[in-house]
Amino acid sequence: MAFELPDLPFAKDALEPHISANTFDFHHGKHHNTYVVNLNNMTADTHMASMSLEDIMKATAGDASKAGIFNNAAQVWNHTFFWNSMTPNGGGEPTGAIGDAINASFGSYGEFKEAFKTAGMTQFGSGWAWLVKKGDKLEIVKTPNAECPLTDGATPIITCDVWEHAYYLDYQNRRPDFLEAFLNNLVNWDFANANFAG
């Protein structure tokens, strides 16, 4: 198969108690995997089977006739990016160049945190909250469904999945508590720094 489900970058129980192994069984093992299976089915025997996810996303974004391919390719990419945006014992105040850039763009870590949380809480329905680099500036954006800032010319730095399937088993309807746990305990600032430098 052209596209494969990547392993999680940590053990499936490594983010407990913030995100349970049970959530990863469904979110990675079922939801993420289904996007991979769908994308393979939709691109089988086409030139897209040998394209990168990023190139498929850029080639199909905004094209209603290719919405199925875009949605599945972007959801494969977004979920892999989300797993890498987290690490055991992560979160809290950033270190390195991204910390300085956050202070320069948002005033302080506290103001960044509130803005990121608000983006995640106010994304109506399914979607994603992102920290992105646009030009030499950091911005917080939210996207609906499978949409990804990559197709708007921005460089994703970190993301948090705010689809209900991301938190419902652990937090039920309490999306703000999930976002708080993500920011306080899970953000992988090394990954953020690598994306910021790249």
Residues found near Mn ion in the complex (CB under 5 A):
161, 163, 166
Q: Cβ 35 to Mn ion, closest distance in Å?
A: 9
**Whose Cβ is closer to Mn ion: residue 94's or residue 149's?**
149
Omega of the bond leading into 17 within 30 degrees of 0 (cis)? yes
The radius of gyration of the chain from alpha carbons, rounded to an integer in Å, stands at 16
Q: Cβ 27 to Mn ion, closest distance in Å?
A: 6
**Whose Cβ is closer to Mn ion: residue 28's or residue 133's?**
28
Of 97, 82, 114, 116, the closest CA to residue 6 belongs to: 82
Instruction: Report how far apart, in Å, the C-alpha atoms of 143 and of each of 36, 134, 151, 160 are.
Output: 21, 15, 11, 11
Tally helices (H) and strands (E) across the chain.
9, 3
Q: What is the Cα–Cα distance from 18 to 139, expressed in whole angstroms?
A: 26
Q: Cβ 166 to Mn ion, closest distance in Å?
A: 5
Half-sphere exposure of 69 (CA within 13 A, CB side): 25
Q: Cβ 163 to Mn ion, closest distance in Å?
A: 5
Element (H, E) at 196: helix 189-197
**Whose Cβ is closer to Mn ion: residue 159's or residue 185's?**
159
Q: Which residue is nearest to Mn ion (CB)?
A: 161
Q: Cβ 117 to Mn ion, closest distance in Å?
A: 18
**Whose Cβ is closer to Mn ion: residue 143's or residue 193's?**
143
* Strand pairing class (137-144; 155-161): unpaired
Q: Cβ 177 to Mn ion, closest distance in Å?
A: 17
**Whose Cβ is closer to Mn ion: residue 118's or residue 126's?**
126
**Whose Cβ is closer to Mn ion: residue 163's or residue 182's?**
163
Instruction: Report how far apart, in Å, the C-alpha atoms of 122 and of each of 40, 46, 153, 156 are.
Output: 33, 38, 23, 19
